[in-house]
């Protein structure tokens, strides 16, 4: 950071998977952090994992970010923030199709509260956790930030598109505000300490937690959703980004906004893809996991999962050049970290 003055960041949804990793990286970069989370899809032990890694206590407020008054009284009136990172959202694609109103209510309401209070308390900087889902299946790959967004293929995806638009219009109307939307590709892995990681409640929807739980014997076998796609081995292609690399992208985004002079309003709303730029198939990922960890993952080919895109990966030039950020961790190391975390959670070894 350019300034010696410690800056305070509100991490809304900070007890979750990406929020915990980001909190660690922020603190290690010299920021103070306050976590606000309703623990609807997270556990207090995740915050304790963060505290263990950084070696000090982290202010935590259990509050629903949709509750404007509670967020005002318990968080914004108590701490002086410079920046907010907004993670407080649901993210299960299938569930969002079954319960769209739940997704609209939670994901949009929590963002509205945050924006309203940022305006009220003159908080300048927002980082928003967006997703590659906003691209749908792009006609051209890799997807760049200019690749046209397509109609979202789930209510979850629609909340990400709507949130981006709400932020853009809000920032345009409030001269002191700046925002950066980070479009994550597929975040995976865990902190190398194995003190924090992804701990989905119930049956995992996402690939890597399903792999690690299958390797641990919690699930009988992994279903590979489709081997008849127009890809080299027939399974879907994705861009898997290490969660610690992703967490660092948030720090760099906050740094950028903190360091930009107040009168410089050329770039008040920016979007960055956060991925590796490298497509990896589902079958390649499973194979690499088995090889680096020396553990079998029983799997079978199953039908395609409705709503899945065939292939997507990121153009990362903008994040590389403008943010000076790039993915650093090797995929094998990421999969080792994911397995180390699962083993610790399950008490294996």
Residues designated as active site: 156
| CB of 24 vs ligand UD1, minimal distance in Å | 21
| CB of 124 vs ligand UD1, minimal distance in Å | 27
Residue among 284 and 333 whose Cβ is closer to ligand UD1: 284
SS (H, E, C) 26-79: HHHCCCEEEEEECCCCCCHHHHHHHHHHHCCCCCEEECCCCCHHHHHHHHHCCC
Residue among 103 and 210 whose Cβ is closer to ligand UD1: 210
Residue among 239 and 255 whose Cβ is closer to ligand UD1: 239
Please list the alpha-helical segments (H only) found in 154-281: 155-173, 207-215, 243-259
Under 8 Å between Cβ of 83 and 32: no
| CB of 222 vs ligand UD1, minimal distance in Å | 6
Q: Give dist(CA 335, CA 149) in Å, integer.
A: 30
Say whether 90 sits in a helix, a strand or coil.
Answer: coil
Residue among 179 and 207 whose Cβ is closer to ligand UD1: 207
Opening angle at CA 19, ends 18 and 22, nearest 5: 85
Distance of CA 157 to the CA centre of its chain: 14
DSSP 8-state assignment for residue 1: -
Q: Count Cβ neighbours within 10 Å for each residue of 85-96 and write b for 16 or more, e otherwise.
A: bbbbbbbbbebb
| CB of 225 vs ligand UD1, minimal distance in Å | 4
Q: Give dist(CA 325, CA 140) in Å, integer.
A: 23
| CB of 12 vs ligand UD1, minimal distance in Å | 17
Residue among 129 and 293 whose Cβ is closer to ligand UD1: 129
CA torsion angle 94 129 123 71 (round to 10): 30
Residue among 124 and 311 whose Cβ is closer to ligand UD1: 311
Radius of gyration of the chain (CA): 19
Q: Give dist(CA 316, CA 320) in Å, integer.
A: 6
Which residues of the shown chain bind ligand UD1 in the complex (CB under 6 A)? 91-93, 131-133, 154, 157, 186, 205-207, 210, 222-225, 236, 238, 282, 305, 308-309
| CB of 142 vs ligand UD1, minimal distance in Å | 15
Q: Give dist(CA 290, CA 298) in Å, integer.
A: 10
CA nearest to 288, candidates 141, 204, 189, 143: 189
């Amino acid at each position: 950071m350019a300034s010696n003055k410690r800056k305070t960041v509100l991490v809304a949804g900070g007890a979750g998977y990406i929020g915990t990793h980001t909190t660690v990286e922020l603190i290690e970069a010299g920021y103070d952090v306050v976590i606000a989370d309703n623990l609807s899809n997270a556990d207090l032990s995740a915050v304790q994992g963060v505290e263990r890694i950084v070696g000090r206590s982290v202010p935590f407020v259990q509050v629903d970010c949709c509750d404007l008054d509670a967020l005002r009284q318990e968080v914004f009136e108590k701490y002086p923030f410079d920046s907010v990172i907004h993670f407080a959202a649901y993210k299960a694609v299938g569930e969002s199709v079954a319960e769209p109103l739940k997704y609209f209510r939670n994901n949009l309401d929590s963002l509205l509260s945050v924006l309203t209070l940022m305006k009220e308390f003159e908080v300048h900087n927002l980082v928003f956790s967006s997703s590659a889902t906003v691209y749908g299946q792009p006609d051209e790959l890799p997807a760049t930030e200019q690749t046209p967004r397509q109609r979202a293929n789930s209510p979850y995806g629609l909340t990400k598109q709507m949130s981006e638009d709400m932020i853009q219009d809000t920032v345009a109307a409030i001269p002191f505000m700046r925002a950066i939307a980070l479009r994550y590709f597929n975040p995976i892995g865990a902190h190398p300490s194995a003190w924090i990681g992804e701990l989905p409640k119930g049956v995992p929807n996402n690939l890597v937690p399903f792999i690690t739980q299958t390797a641990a014997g919690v699930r009988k076998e992994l279903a590979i959703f489709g081997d008849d796609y127009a890809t080299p081995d027939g399974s879907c292609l994705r861009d898997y980004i290490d969660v610690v690399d992703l967490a660092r992208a948030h720090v760099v985004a906050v740094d950028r906004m903190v360091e930009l002079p107040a009168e410089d309003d050329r770039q008040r709303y920016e979007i960055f893809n956060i991925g590796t730029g490298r497509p990896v198939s589902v079958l390649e990922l499973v194979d690499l996991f088995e090889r680096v960890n020396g553990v079998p993952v029983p799997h079978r080919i199953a039908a395609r999962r409705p709503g899945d895109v065939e292939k997507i990966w990121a153009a990362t030039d903008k994040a590389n050049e403008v943010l000076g950020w790039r993915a650093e961790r090797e995929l094998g190391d990421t999969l080792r970290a994911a397995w180390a975390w699962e083993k610790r959670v399950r008490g294996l070894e």
